[in-house]
């Protein structure tokens, strides 16, 4: 009897775990292929956020099933207990995914002499209406390329600088956004040579070359000598963006702090 009791519990827990893992897999597709496409799951901490949210949800649900499952209970009571557990687990997963979504990267913005990843949570809601009309809806399909425009006058420059000192970077201000292409000359002026990057980080030279080669396709005409770099600020880390010094197009990202 005791053996059958635990066998039923473990079977129910295994089934619940399988369902939980399936839902976690579907959530992973949403997070890693839509909200945090590579390499932003590292740059913006999407992987850690997702694992924190999902691991707790996946573990706690089946554990609660292990505790409450008992064939000796009336069917109605057993179904009620399992339904409550399932509902709580779905609510927790939905809240966790919402947390991941509001922290998602929405724009990669060129800001004076660097790139900065801007996340949905970074953007003041009251300023979003001041963005160019086509930029007032934050993207759901991964970050888009933007740049920060020049200040209109000294007052705007002073106000924006003071806000930056208080924690609001220029790139997170929708009223300063413009198309990426509009800053092409400034981007190319800020780019430094690939040779300089390799000289500064000789131990990372092979890693940099691999990142470039992985980005090339048979139709790509960019030569290695046409690559420059610009530092990038992520959520809690610093990376480097490799760009085409002819077009300012993004070639690749490397986890090197080049500031």
Residues 233 and 178 in one domain: no
Higher pLDDT, 5 or 62: 62
Residues 72 and 31 in one domain: yes
User: E strands within the chain?
Assistant: 105-111, 114-119, 144-148, 177-179, 192-193, 227-233, 238-244, 250-254
Last residue of a domain, one of 186, 208, 241: 186
Residues 203 and 147 in one domain: no
Q: Which residues pair with 96 in a beta bridge?
A: none
Last residue of a domain, one of 165, 186, 207: 186
Overall average pLDDT of the 149-164 stretch:
89
Domain count, the chain: 3
Whether the CB-CB separation of 194 and 222 falls below 8 Å is answered with no
pLDDT tens digits for range 168-193: 999 999 999 999 999 999 999 999 99
Q: Which residues pair with 117 in a beta bridge?
A: 108
pLDDT tens digits for range 198-211: 999 999 999 999 99
**Contacts within 8 Å (CB) and 24+ apart, 225-228:** 225/194, 227/194, 227/251, 228/188, 228/191, 228/192, 228/193, 228/194
Residues 93 and 165 in one domain: no
Q: What is the value of pTM for the model shown?
A: 0.86
**Looking at residue 217, what is its pLDDT?**
65
Overall average pLDDT of the 75-98 stretch:
89
162 belongs to a structural domain: yes
135 belongs to a structural domain: yes
Q: What is the DSSP letter of 138?
A: P
Whether the CB-CB separation of 107 and 171 falls below 8 Å is answered with yes
Overall average pLDDT of the 19-35 stretch:
92
Q: Which of 97, 104, 146 is nearest to 121 (CA)?
A: 104
Which residue segment(s) compose the domain that 240 sits in? 191-259
Last residue of a domain, one of 102, 135, 169: 102
Q: Report the SS3 class of residue 183.
A: helix
Average pLDDT, the chain: 89
107 belongs to a structural domain: no
């Amino acid at each position: 009897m005791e053996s059958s009791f635990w066998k039923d519990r473990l079977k129910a827990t295994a089934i619940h775990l399988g369902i939980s893992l399936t839902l976690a897999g579907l959530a992973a597709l949403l997070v890693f292929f839509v909200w945090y496409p590579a390499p932003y799951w590292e740059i913006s901490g999407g992987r850690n956020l997702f694992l924190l949210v999902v691991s707790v949800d996946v573990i706690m649900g089946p554990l609660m099933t292990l505790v409450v499952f008992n064939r000796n209970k009336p069917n109605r009571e057993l179904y009620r207990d399992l339904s409550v557990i399932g509902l709580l687990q779905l609510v927790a997963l939905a809240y966790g995914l919402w947390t991941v979504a509001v922290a998602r990267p929405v724009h990669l913005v060129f800001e004076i002499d660097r790139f900065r990843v801007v996340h949905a949570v970074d953007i003041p809601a009251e300023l979003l209406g001041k963005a160019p009309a086509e930029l007032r809806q934050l993207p759901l399909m991964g970050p888009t390329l933007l740049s920060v425009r020049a200040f209109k006058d000294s007052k705007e420059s002073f106000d924006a600088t003071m806000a930056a000192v208080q924690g609001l970077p220029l790139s997170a201000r929708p009223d300063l956004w413009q198309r990426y292409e509009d800053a092409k000359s400034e981007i190319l002026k800020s780019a430094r040579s690939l040779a300089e990057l390799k000289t500064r980080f000789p131990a990372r030279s092979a890693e940099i070359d691999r990142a470039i080669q992985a980005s090339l396709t048979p139709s790509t005409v960019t030569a290695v000598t046409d690559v420059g770099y610009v530092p990038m600020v992520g959520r809690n880390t610093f990376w480097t963006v490799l760009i085409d010094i002819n077009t300012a197009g993004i070639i690749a990202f490397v986890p090197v702090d080049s500031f």
